Structure 1
Amino acid sequence: MLLTFPRFPLLRLSGAIERSSMSASPLSSPSLPLRGRTALVTGVSRRRGIGFAVATTLASLGADVVIHHHRPHDLDLPWGGDDLDAVRDGIRGQLTDGARFADIAADLSAPSAIADVIATATSLTGRLDVLVCNHAKSGDDGSILDMTPERLSAFWEVNTRSTLLLTAEFARLRAPRTDEARRPGDRIVGSGPYEEAQGHVFWMTSGQIHGAMRGEVAYAASKAALAGVTPTVAAELLELGIILNTIDPGPVNTGYMDPETTDRSLEDLDAYVASTPFGRVGRPQDPAELIGWLATSKGSWVVGQVLTSDGGFGL
């Protein structure tokens, strides 16, 4: 049954829902393991970004794809905003026959937007199977001497709170309804055992687990919270058959390492990168391919991990 939801002022579902020429099969195949599955990827507003690479990867595996974006955030940063029509076209170009696409504009710092984003994404096909929380606030950070309540709250609201709330809404799609409050130590009651994963959630953390991130205290704190709570939330989601993993993509150049659009000193960067075994930093496709594999049945035995995909930089 196709679910319908009212429109909300914080959301914009772009034009009409897109469908390719052939109807989608609800069954996956070895070549298209995500056929019949719907994925929501947040923070997809730039073709240089990890979110775009994740969305195109999931599309190429057969998924119906919904992307979220908040372009005003990019416009305030050195690398600026991308052409959203080009972003949409790039993802449409990777859809397989019969797969659908839609996009949503929302400011995830607003708690009222969270349930609306999940509901609108679910309305594309009537189901939601994969949630990739790729969105993040960056810029306007500082050292510990620069911290203010407002700065810390801004990073917490976008990077941490909204990720947890999106995950909660995703889980409620599969959870039995109850009005009883759970006490510390109480287990969520699901309907397992499960023959296969009932859903996948991916969080994104950062390099704070490997070393200092000078001048990025608010960002590192917000991401460290996600890495730290991963086992707790993963254990609870698993009762519902949902698999959570957190990805540390390592240093990936999404534009912030280009001299003309950087927000940091690049002194000695080229020499350092040349000295590494692969002689390069990460590309958006590197973590995207990991997420794509984990979202299939082949990756479903990996549960509750903080996985580093950085070509050895953390070593």
Structure 2
Amino acid sequence: MPHLPHPTADQLRRDPLPLRGRTALVTGASRRGGIGYAVARRLAAYGAGVYLHHHVPHDAAMPWGADRPEDVVEGVREVLGDPEAPVLAGPGDLTEADAPARLIETAADALGGRLDILVANHALSGRDGELAEIDAAMLDAHWAVDTHSVILLVQAYARLRAKLPSRTPGGRIVMMTSGQDIAGGMPGEVAYGLQKGALASATRTLATTLAELAVTVNCVNPGPVDTDYLTGDDYAAVQARFPAGRWGMPDDPARLISWLATDEAAWISGQVIDSEGGFRR
């Protein structure tokens, strides 16, 4: 069997807009201090049209508060690599049974009828605890947001993608997990860790299922990221466990996730990838 030819010199030169002409939905992009916002900015800088999902009531109920959706959109729009690429946003309560399918349809319609990249970044904050503290309501709430809605988003995305010509390139799904499978686990966040672990476990199954559509599926563990949820001594204690002497910042996982969306990562699928900066657990 002959070997595939080596790339040409032109093919090896990095395209500054590797996602020009492609479209992306980023969920959980409600505020400028979060990972979803950083991912959306990277995708837009690479040339993609982007639809930002937000659920402002969730962030408004948290200590860090919520941003205005129009401010989030403007922050993404300012880095557009392709001035013709759209940046749009819309709400969605993903605990509602039909919300994931509606969000996929809405995002695709807004972006011209096609959706290439799905970054499922949203998650439920709070309402968790140690084993002795959790209850059925906590488990159900995290299941609904962190896992149930993600699988339904993937299902709706796959149905939309199946309408394209066979093996249309550029199909990408990136889900978010956490450090539940690394030394020590997450004993203080049992409900969250359990549901994020379910996504990590589903990654290879989903990758195999969607391979016939030329869609890669990967899961990223961003490690501890400074999204304004810790301060004071707790913040300093986490910072001391990074060899670099700093927290992970939202753009750290965003660089990995945006790269996974490009053609350079077309051979990577079914993987759970830790992006933790050497964090010592």
TM-score (norm. length: structure 1) = 0.80
Q: What is the deviation of 1:273?
A: 2.5
Aligned counterpart, 1:301: 267
The reply to whether residue 101 of structure 1 matches residue 87 of structure 2 is yes
User: Contact 2:22–2:170 at 8 Å: present in 1 too?
Assistant: no
Aligned counterpart, 2:36: 51
Aligned counterpart, 2:172: 200
Q: What is the deviation of 1:63?
A: 0.3
The reply to whether residue 141 of structure 1 matches residue 128 of structure 2 is yes
CA deviations on 1:161-201 (whole Å, 9 max, x unpaired) are 0000000000011337xxxxxxxxxxxxx94xx5x744000
Q: What is the deviation of 1:112?
A: 1.4
Aligned residue pairs total 265
Name the CA distance, whole Å, in 1 between partners of 2:187 and 2:170: 39
SS in 2 for 1:79: coil
1:212-223 correspondence to structure 2 within 5 Å:
212-223=185-196
Name the CA distance, whole Å, in 2 between partners of 1:41 and 1:50: 10
Name the CA distance, whole Å, in 1 between partners of 2:279 and 2:211: 31
Which 4+ runs in 1 deviate beyond 3 A? Answer: none
Name the CA distance, whole Å, in 2 between partners of 1:272 and 1:112: 39
Structure 1 residues not aligned, in runs of 5+: 1-28, 177-189, 260-265
Aligned counterpart, 1:283: 249
Q: What is the deviation of 1:215?
A: 2.1
CA deviations on 1:135-178 (whole Å, 9 max, x unpaired) are 000111111112221110000000000000000000011337xx
User: Contact 2:242–2:280 at 8 Å: present in 1 too?
Assistant: no
Letter in 1 for 2:144: E
Name the CA distance, whole Å, in 2 between partners of 1:271 and 1:216: 18
Name the CA distance, whole Å, in 1 between partners of 2:51 and 2:212: 26
From 34, 43, 53, give the equivalent of 1:68.
53
1:105-184 correspondence to structure 2 within 5 Å:
105-124=91-110, 125-175=112-162
From 226, 232, 242, give the equivalent of 2:205.
232
Answer 1 or 2: which has greater helix percent: 2
Q: Residues 64 and 212 of structure 1: is their aligned pair in 2 closer, same or farther, counting only changes over 3 Å?
A: same
Q: What is the deviation of 1:314?
A: 5.4
CA deviations on 1:92-149 (whole Å, 9 max, x unpaired) are 1122211112111010010111111011111121110000000000111111112221
Structure 2 residues not aligned, in runs of 5+: 1-13
Aligned counterpart, 2:5: none
Name the CA distance, whole Å, in 2 between partners of 1:73 and 1:275: 30
CA deviations on 1:56-87 (whole Å, 9 max, x unpaired) are 00000000010000010111111111232221
Aligned counterpart, 1:83: 68
Name the CA distance, whole Å, in 2 between partners of 1:276 and 1:311: 7
TM-score (norm. length: structure 2) = 0.89
Name the CA distance, whole Å, in 2 between partners of 1:121 and 1:276: 37
Q: What is the deviation of 1:276?
A: 3.4
Aligned counterpart, 1:263: none
Letter in 2 for 1:215: G
